[in-house]
Structure 1
Amino acid sequence: MSAAPPRVERRTHANGMELAWDSFGDPDATPLLLVMGLGAQMVAWDDAFCAQLAEAGGLRVIRFDNRDIGHSSYLTHLGVPDIQALMQQAMAGRTLHVPYTLRDMAADCAGLLDALGIARAHIVGASMGGAIGQEMCVHYPHRMLSFTSIMSTTGAPGLPPPTPEALAVLFSPAPTTFEAYVPHHAKVWRVLRGPSAFPQDEARDTERAQLVFLRGLNPPGVARQLAAVLASGNRKPALAAVRVPTLVIHGDADPLVPVVCGIDVADAIPGATLLRIPHMGHALPIPMWPEIVGAIAAHTGRHPDA
């Protein structure tokens, strides 16, 4: 079997940003855009996962770095938000003034589709990426063939919070040296994967940490992304009017965004289908790829390009 050709990363101007992206599968196939979560680079969508999804669904799978992460535009000129103050303001029900919002990040997605000459695509979002996908459902439904929300939330008040351990790793600053970053990365993902052991993933933690570190960390950008999440508020009322065919995937052992939040997403979007995956935390573990890939491929196959 011949080796796969090396990935070619491109940078494209979209919505005033320069967004780094690459793709898997037939360039002429129906497009599927992967949207990653808070502080996560596009390589958090593992190469092999993307290749399997492209093959299973007969899709052109596109992944990209959100603004302020990886090789996409850093919005340094917007400053570093005071997250603690923003959280206090949010709890007090005040309007938050932030560098940008999740709706702006949804506009990045639409802008990337524009730049790539894509009229409509399947959208798959994980965690914050799922919230960005919800914003697309509300503001850009005409650009979407279907939506898959993975380990995300509506932001509705009263939903259960993260576990203290998950919250601690979310707010733990990333070390600036590779030697310190590797064990930090491993600890973060041990917590986020939940109580079950995933030896295949643990064996790849150092390799994944190196890839992320070498592509570049941007802690101020992560703070700006988190500010956007905090300012997004409750999307549930707007989701009631969504008619985009939706699949919700959520692990029942998620320590960061508890499964009740995924159930709430499925309840909020009319006609949505919910897939609960036992033992899955806030991650996409290798042993669960077949079920996740199969579910997304089946969902997109029911809603092909018009």
Structure 2
Amino acid sequence: MADHDRRGAITRIGAVDIAWESFGDPDHPAILLIAGLGTQMIRWTGAFCRALAARGWRVIRFDNRDTGCSTHLDHCPPPDMGAVIGALGAGLLGVGRQPDLPYTLNDMAGDALGLLDALGIGRAHVVGRSMGGMIAQILASDHGHRVCSLTSIMSGTGNPAVAGPAPDVLALLLGPAPDPAIDPEGFLAHGLAFARRI
């Protein structure tokens, strides 16, 4: 695929700017790739996107809000992930007794839908990884007429009756990582340990 077959931009969706890239012919059926927690769009590698495009798809990847080149909400305090996980496990999320959050997965699904709108895509095959799978599920549930198919990878439904991640994986996900500016080797070791475990 020639370099000119890859396009990207930053598009305003509501109150946030979403960075995105598209591979392949804009007239081909679309696949929207949604990344996981703290993961930039480039985790869906260029080679992977080009391979899909070569098979006749238009492939769109993007940075979720607070990630990569999309808007970072630095003015908002980070959520207490322990409280979020606890509320999720108790079935409290979405019923009015949840922790204070600057935005939700529903807002992030709105970002994905807004990107499809901005790109003039009526329907897409939606693929999400980890947290991106949860965003994809919300998109399919709330806007099923816009989703041709749903693929949810390494993800969950939020149902407290369904087993969640292993305790050591959860500890790696929620535990503090070394500051890369102070301890780059420790930061890399933490990231590698997490990647190897999942």
> TM-score range with shorter-chain normalisation?
0.7 to 0.9
Residue 180 of structure 2 is matched in structure 1 by 176
Q: Deviations over 1:130-162 (max 9, x none)?
A: 111111112111222222222221111222232
Residue 118 of structure 1 is matched in structure 2 by 121
SS in 1 for 2:114: helix
Q: Aligned partners of 1:88 and 1:154: how far apart in 2?
A: 15
Cα RMSD between the aligned structures?
A: 2.1
Instruction: Name the amino acid aligned to 1:73.
Output: T
Instruction: Name the amino acid aligned to 1:165.
Output: D
Residue 154 of structure 1 is matched in structure 2 by 157
Q: Aligned partners of 1:66 and 1:35: how far apart in 2?
A: 8
Q: Deviations over 1:189-246 (max 9, x none)?
A: 1111xxxxxxxxxxxxxxxxxxxxxxxxxxxxxxxxxxxxxxxxxxxxxxxxxxxxxx
How far has the Cα of 1:37 moved from its partner?
1.1
Q: Deviations over 1:108-137 (max 9, x none)?
A: 011011111212211111111111111111
The answer on whether the counterparts of 1:38 and 1:127 sit within 8 Å (CA) in structure 2 is: yes
Q: Aligned partners of 2:35 and 2:160: how far apart in 1?
A: 23
Q: Aligned partners of 2:26 and 2:144: how far apart in 1?
A: 23
How far has the Cα of 1:91 moved from its partner?
4.4
The answer on whether the counterparts of 1:125 and 1:133 sit within 8 Å (CA) in structure 2 is: yes
The answer on whether the counterparts of 1:15 and 1:112 sit within 8 Å (CA) in structure 2 is: no
Q: Aligned partners of 2:153 and 2:88: how far apart in 1?
A: 24
Q: Aligned partners of 1:75 and 1:125: how far apart in 2?
A: 22
Give TM-score scaled by structure 2 length.
0.85
SS in 2 for 1:77: coil
The answer on whether the counterparts of 1:124 and 1:148 sit within 8 Å (CA) in structure 2 is: yes
Q: Deviations over 1:43-96 (max 9, x none)?
A: 11111111112223x101000001111110112233222223344444455420
How far has the Cα of 1:101 moved from its partner?
1.4
SS in 1 for 2:21: strand
Give yes or no for the alignment of 1:141 onto 2:144.
yes
* Compared CA separation, residues 167 and 55, structure 1 to 2 (3 A): same
Instruction: Name the amino acid aligned to 2:180.
Output: T
1:189 to 186, 189, 195: 195
Residue 202 of structure 1 is matched in structure 2 by none
Instruction: Name the amino acid aligned to 1:14.
Output: I
Give TM-score scaled by structure 1 length.
0.57
Percent of residue pairs bearing the same amino acid type? 48
Q: Which has the higher contact order (CA 8 A, sep 6+)?
A: 1
Q: Flag the structure with higher helix content.
A: 1
The answer on whether the counterparts of 2:81 and 2:174 sit within 8 Å (CA) in structure 1 is: no
Aligned positions, number = 189
1:64-83 equivalent positions in 2, closer than 5 A? 64-83=62-81
* Compared CA separation, residues 161 and 118, structure 1 to 2 (3 A): closer
Instruction: Name the amino acid aligned to 1:54.
Output: A
* Compared CA separation, residues 21 and 99, structure 1 to 2 (3 A): same
SS in 2 for 1:67: coil
SS in 1 for 2:3: coil
